[in-house]
Each structure stands twice: as C-alpha cells, then as structure tokens.
Amino acid sequence: MLEGPRRRVRLAEFVLIVLTLIVVAQLVQVQVLDAGFYRAWAAEQRERRITLDDPPRGVIRDRNGHLLAGNVVVYSVEATPSQVLDPVETARVLEGWLHTPRAQIQAELESDKLWVLLAPQVSKEIGDQIAEQELPGITVRPRWARAYPEGSLAAHVLGFCNVAGEGFYGVEGFHDMALRPRRIEREGPVDLFSQPVPWTVLPVVLPESGDALVLSLDRTIQAMVEQELAQAVMAYQADGGTIIVMDTRTFEILAMASLPNYDPGRYQEFVREDLSASVLPFTDPAISEQYEPGSVFKVLTVAAALDAGVVSPETTYYDPGWMEVGGVPIHNSSPDLQGEYTVADILIHSLNVGAAWLSTRMGADTFYHYLLGFGVGQRTGVDLAGEATGQVWTPNDYAYWHDANLGTNAFGQGVAVTPLQMITAVATVANGGERLRPYVVARRIAPDGTEFTHQRRVEAQVISPETAQQVAEIMVRTVDEAIPEAQVAGYRVAGKTGTAQIPVPGGYDPQGTIASFVGFGPWPEPQVVILVKLDRPRTSPWASHTAAPTFQRVMTRLFGMLRIPPQDVDMAQVVVP
Amino acid sequence: MLESLRRQVKRRTWRSVALLLLVVLVLAATYLSLVGQNAARGRHIQQLQSEYFRLRRENAQLEVKIAQASSIETLQRRAVEELGMEVVPPERMEFFVPLE
C-alpha cells in the first residue's frame, strides 16, 4: 500500500479506537459508576405507591342489628385538561349533571392545569351516568361517604364522621380508631395512567373495613324516647332536655336522647362561623353538660347517712323549717314544711333542712366519701367522646370549699353533675349498691369475625345491699305518697323529683329552673332506670308538673316494649279449643 | 485428511452453535410465555379485585338503602299515611300478657 493511504487508514483506526474508548468509558460511567442514580430515576418514573381500593369505615348497629351508621358511595368528578378532546362538548354534557355553569366547566377544561377537580361529591347515580359517557379526559372516582339511615335518631350517641373519614363526638369519636378501615399500600410499577401493571402476581391481600360496633341502644326505645322528649319540650315550653334509659342490672344504655339535636348525615349544615364550638349542637348534653341536680341528690345523701349507720329510715328529727350551716340559712321549699319528720320523710316531702341535717350529722369526711363513691365529680367512663367530670368541692379543696357547702350539697346545690352521672348514681341504688361502668358499645366485631364483648366492670360497692333496699323502698313510697304524676298504672316504681335553680354569675337565675326526675322500676325487681331532665320549662317550674309526667309516659311505654307484665294484672287462662 | 478433519470440526462447531441458539431460543420462549402467563394472571386478579371492590360498594349502598326503607321514621310515616294507622298515646294503650 502507498504511504499516503496507509497513514489515512491508521488515522481512521486511531479515531475509531478513541471513539470506541469514549463509548466504553461512557458505558462504564452510566452502567457502573452512576448505575444507582439511573436505577432510582427509572424506578421513580415507573413505580408508584399504589393504594388498593379504600375499604369502608366500620358500621354501627343497634342491639337488634338495625343499621345506625353505614357507608354509601359518592363520586368525585375530575379532569385531565390535556386529554380532553372537545372541551366545548364535554362542558355541555357535564353541565346538567354537575349543576355548574357551562362556561366555568369549559374554562377549567381549557386551562393549563394538569388536573382539575370538577365536582368533589356527586351521587352514585350521577357518577354512573357520567362514567357511561366515557368522555375523554374525564375521570369519575368513587369514594366512601358516611350515611345515617335513621336520620337524626341517636345523633348525640353516634356523633358524626367528616369527609376525610375522621370520627367526632359520641361513638364515632370515641371508637374512631377501631372504626377506621385498614388501607393496604405497596410499591409497584404503573402505566401511563398510574394504573398498576400486572407484571408479577402478588399475594392477594384485600384491604379490610373497620370494626363493626353493636350498641346497647334499642332503636325502637330510642325513637320512643326521642318522641316523648320532643313532646315534653314542646308541651312544657322548655329550652331543651335529656332523657336516658339504662338497664339497672348491667348499666347498659338502652336509649339516650337530648334536644336540641342534629342530623349527623348533614352535620355541615349545623356548623356556623358565628357560633363557638360550645353552642354547636354536636356536644351531647347527656354526658357533657353539667347542672345542679337539686333534690334528686337527696337520694345520695339519705343513702350515705343510712349506710354510715348515722340514722335509720324511722329515725325522727324536728324540722324547724330552716337551719343555718356555715353561716348560710337553708329553708325548706315551703314554710308549711316544719315539725317532726322521719328520715324517710326527707325524700317523701323533699326536705332541704332534713338533708342538711343528715350531712352535718355525718360530717364532711363521711358525706364526701360517699359522694365520691357514687361517682360524683368523676367521669363515669362511658365509651362516648366528650364526657365532662362534673364538679364537687371537698374540704381538701380548701380554696373553694366552705362550711356551707356541707349543707347545700346535701340537697343538690353547689354541686354539678352530668345527667349520666346522676342516673348512674341512682342506678347504683337500684343495683344493690354496686356501681358499674355504664356503656354504649356492647360488642366489637373485627372483619375476620372475631368478637369482643363488653366486660362488666364494677367501679365500687358504694353502699350495702341492705341500705340500697331501704333507700329504694323510701323512693317507692315517695312516688306512691307524694308524686302521683310519676305513678305508672299496674306497676310500682321508685323515684325522686329535682327542681333546681340555675346558677348564674352572682347567684341564681330567678327566671328558670332545671326540672328533673330519676326513677326505676318495676319494684321490687327493677330492670330499668330513667332520667328525665327539662331545661327551663315555662308552663311550670316544678319537676312534679313537668319531668315526673314525662317519666310516667316513658316508663309506661317502656314496660310495654320490654314486655314486663303489670303487677296487678289478672292473669287469665286462655283455653284454646 | 487434514482438510476432512478441519471440515468435520467446522461442522461440529456450527452444530454446537446452532444447538446453543436453539436452547437460548427455547429458554427465551419459555421465559416469555411464563411472563405472559403471569401478566395474564395478574390482570385477572386485578379484574377480580375490581369486581370485588365494586360488589362491596354495591353491597354497602344497598344495605344503607334497605336500612333507610325500614327506618323508624319511614315505617311510622308509611303506617300513618299509607295504612291509616295512628300513634297511640300511653293512656290508651292496653297490654295483653300471655301466660308462659
């Protein structure tokens, strides 16, 4: 070969070798040195965190299996503007379903945004219709929404669940974590539309719904109680009220209603910017509202005195109609109430002076020991969100307690309880002096079928069974002899009224009262205890005229619903031919 | 002789290469087939899951509808408006207690 061409061939060889070396060097750089970076970059583009379809929140049922809180499907309508072929036509089609002006939809579809939320929530029916149109660039995404098929029934007990699936108030709030569904997330390859690519067969693990809860509530009793409460509030022109029905043997709550209430399925409509959280209707007055119980509290004072052995039901004392404790005069409700009375008469005639006489005879240590034993000033521990503690000052609270408290507390003044605390204390008397923890959730059922049943929990043996029997008999006499409005035809019931003044800054409100009645029956084997509380009834301030007849109506219907036969019924033998 | 030997070696070499290629092809086809089957099964599982989720949604929806249709409020309204029943006040109620 000539010298010239040979040199050019060598030059070409050299250039090719250099180029090959550069390529090899680049390959080493990409494949070896920067391999980690490129691998991560590829994974970032190809792999996503994939959430398998969200399971629903756990359902809530009443004791007979009726659904109180369930789940429905709603759809959110979304758009990817770059994939919408005909924004004008798409906007025209969506306009009717979304109830949004066509121009607004069109503007969104023609925008430069990567993703647009056209409607956060439409019904399943509308969502299905939009999906059937198969509009390019329009996605209809299903999601769960909480539904309360019974409307406002047991609203305060249930609470509500927000759009994000978080529970608030009542059972929804207290058992939120148990009710929440278990999501399943995994990393995996996705396609252009972020849908998982089925390259590998993964173990089939389906996301589980939250635990189902079975309440102790009976929806029929709950509906009856709500109906009677609404009727009482209207008839006695009260601001509101509460009725609780509890089983005296287990302390399970059969019904609990308060007014004003709300519809948990439409809770947003009750939220107002100008209202503070304390006046929203979501807090349950039955467990969160504190009030001075008035004369109902004498049941606890008499029980304490009898159990402490200070007096017996037949012990007599002279009641001058007033007395002074700690420098504060205490009067009976009527000046006619003076003379010689027995301890039983303190409940039967609702004698304030007699109650104060008992507490002073017991002494502060003994008296408050029993009050705390009955659970006054402490949460009952019920499984509902937002329970208040109530308030009672003892001599240990030296900054707040005065000698006069010993006298006024004895008849329910200067002490604050929640309705649930009060009914729990009286249920303790009906249950032979044993205080149990009240509850609403009877059973919790996990998705795999495992059941967790409520365990009976004894809080304290406050008074002896003998004392409880004595107090209950006095309460039966109280209804028989002094409160005909609370008597239930065919049954013997125990009870006590309470007409309490409402504390305001500087004293008591002269205008309104809180009228309450707590009673149980049928005596001598009580099965249910009922508390009726009416706030500021205007037709009469007295509990005997308002709360007692309401108790009578509820108890009458309740005995029928629970199929408790009347005690004076003439049993007839029916002979079937 | 030498030439014949060389041709024989060459033929064997080609045979070996061909055999190797065949094995590679079979392995590749098997691999592709397995991947394809896996993908098909994965897709089937995805479809079953989607169906399961759809049925679960449908089920929940129907359960709520049934509960709404048999709610206390609905039953009472239908009893009063459609069947002409009335709500009886407690004072007008009478209970018949059968003997056990």
Instruction: Say yes or no: B41 contacts chain A, CB-CB below 8 A.
Output: yes
Short-list A281, A204, A295, CA closest to A498? A295
Pairing of strands A212-215, A60-61: parallel
Residue A388 sits at the vertex; the CA angle it makes with A460 and A405, to the nearest 5 degrees, is 75
* Sequence ranges of the domains in chain B: 11-82
pLDDT confidence of residue A273: 61
Instruction: Indicate if A458 and A489 belong to the same structural domain.
Output: yes
Instruction: Indicate if A157 and A302 belong to the same structural domain.
Output: no
Which are the contacts of A401, defined by CB distance < 8 A and separation ≥ 6?
A393, A394, A395
pLDDT confidence of residue A392: 93
pLDDT confidence of residue A45: 76
The answer as to whether A540 is a domain residue is yes
> Residue A83: which domain range?
52-180+202-210
Residue A495 sits at the vertex; the CA angle it makes with A491 and A496, to the nearest 5 degrees, is 155
pLDDT confidence of residue A128: 85
Domain count, chain A: 2
Low-confidence ranges of chain A (pLDDT < 50): 572-574, 576-577
Please judge whether B42 and A198 are an interchain contact, meaning their C-beta atoms are less than 8 angstroms apart: yes
Instruction: Indicate if A167 and A226 belong to the same structural domain.
Output: no
Instruction: Indicate if A231 and A174 belong to the same structural domain.
Output: no
pLDDT confidence of residue A272: 67
Instruction: Say yes or no: A48 contacts chain B, CB-CB below 8 A.
Output: no
pLDDT confidence of residue A244: 98
Instruction: Say yes or no: B78 contacts chain A, CB-CB below 8 A.
Output: no
Please judge whether A66 and B49 are an interchain contact, meaning their C-beta atoms are less than 8 angstroms apart: no
Instruction: Indicate if A206 and A233 belong to the same structural domain.
Output: no
Q: What ipTM is given for this predicted complex?
A: 0.78
Instruction: Indicate if A299 and A342 belong to the same structural domain.
Output: yes
For A164-214, how does the pLDDT look when each residue is reduced to its tens digit (9 = 90+)? Answer: 889 999 999 999 999 999 877 777 777 776 677 766 666 667 788 899 999
pLDDT confidence of residue A2: 61
Please judge whether B64 and A198 are an interchain contact, meaning their C-beta atoms are less than 8 angstroms apart: no
Q: Cα(B70)–Cα(A263) distance, rounded to whole angstroms?
A: 18
Instruction: Indicate if A337 and A246 belong to the same structural domain.
Output: yes
Instruction: Say yes or no: A72 contacts chain B, CB-CB below 8 A.
Output: yes
Instruction: Indicate if A506 and A547 belong to the same structural domain.
Output: yes
The answer as to whether A21 is a domain residue is no
pLDDT confidence of residue B95: 64
Give the number of A-B residue pairs with CB atoms closer than 8 Å.
Answer: 95
In chain B, residues with a C-beta closer than 8 Å to the C-beta of A72 are 60-61, 64
* Report field, pTM of the whole predicted structure over 0.80: yes
Instruction: Indicate if A340 and A314 belong to the same structural domain.
Output: yes
pLDDT confidence of residue A574: 47
Q: What value does the mean pLDDT take over residues B42-63?
A: 88
Instruction: Indicate if A225 and A324 belong to the same structural domain.
Output: yes
pLDDT confidence of residue A572: 47
Classify burial at A48, counting beta carbons within 10 Å of its beta carbon; exposed 0-12, middle 13-18, buried 19 or more.
Answer: middle
Q: For the domain that residue A530 is a member of, what is the CATH number?
A: 3.40.710.10
Instruction: Indicate if A388 and A533 belong to the same structural domain.
Output: yes
Which amino acid is located at A466 in the chain?
A: E
Residue A154: count other Cβ atoms within 10 Å of its Cβ.
29
Question: Which phi and psi angles does A455 have, rounded to 5°?
Answer: -100, 130
Instruction: Indicate if A401 and A432 belong to the same structural domain.
Output: yes
Classify burial at A335, counting beta carbons within 10 Å of its beta carbon; exposed 0-12, middle 13-18, buried 19 or more.
Answer: exposed
Q: Cα(A339)–Cα(A192) distance, rounded to whole angstroms?
A: 93
Q: For the domain that residue A148 is a member of, what is the CATH number?
A: 3.90.1310.10
Q: Which of B40, B46, B60 sits opposite A70 (nearest CB)?
A: B60
